[in-house]
Amino acid sequence: MMILKTNSLPLPLLRIIRDKGTEYPFTGEYNDLDIPGTYLCRQCGIALFRAETKFHSGCGWPSFDQDIPGKVQRLPDADGKRTEILCQRCHAHLGHVFEGERMTPLNTRHCVNSLSLDFVADLEVEDTEEAIFAAGCFWGVEYYFKRLPGVLKVEVGYTGGYKDNPSYEEICSGETGHFEAIRVVYDPKKVNFEKITKFFFEIHDPTQADGQGPDIGEQYLSVIFYYEKTQQQIAHALITQLKNKGLPVETQVKPVSPFWPAEEYHQDYYQKTGKMPYCHHYVKRFDD
């Protein structure tokens, strides 16, 4: 099932993906990345390029001499001079393609905006889906989700509030309406939304109404953000199951809204520091 992530994309991404803008050269997250994996469409999650086809062109944007067959569309650009490339499935703007430069034996350079892409360290993934959860301090939620088989990427950030591009200090003030949250990219051939949502309920206390553990405040509340009706229905069905078991679940279910990645020092926090989660632990709550 294709999930379009447009409603969760902040304005800087929409200016590229929807409005066909271009990010400044040498500023993109993936310009210098050189590790094995796969580059996905940021809007729909389908695999577009394998890292083995990436090369350093010196142009300031990620460059690939080959796409995954059938996944990238070419169209004459509005300027009448260049060839635009888009995601074949959702038509997200990626960048432009150039030929005849003799930079690689394939003589082709797909020049792609980093903001149009997601990267996962998986060599074979073909398609992905996405979920967004809030369950207290995002360090601990990220720690557990990164260990769930089938999960390809976990990014911590802020969502659900009123201010564009909020900082951690602004979130902590409690005046932006945002929640600390995680964005989970997963392989639907290996895990589904129901299973990861069950996991969400099992790594935090969904009955706490004022935060999570010792972290008190609106930014630490338990929330499931849904992209479409099926995710919403699954979330409510699981809450009903837990309430039928006698758990007074306080988890909210909300539609997705722009997800703003947190500052770099928050990403992979426990891996960087060697510490362990202090308010999250696993408790089995479902029979299967």
- Cite the active site residues: 111, 137
Measure the CA dihedral 225/89/121/119, to 10°.
-70
Candidates 191, 112, 189; CA nearest to 154 is: 191
CA angle in degrees (0–180, nearest 5) for 270-155-249:
85
Candidates 128, 144, 126; CA nearest to 271 is: 144
Burial class (CB in 10 A: 0-12, 13-18, 19+), 283: exposed
Ramachandran sector of residue 225 (left: φ over 0; alpha: ψ -120 to 50; beta: rest): beta
Distances 278 to 138, 213, 249 between C-alpha atoms, Å: 11, 8, 21
* Structure tokens given for 43: 């809007």
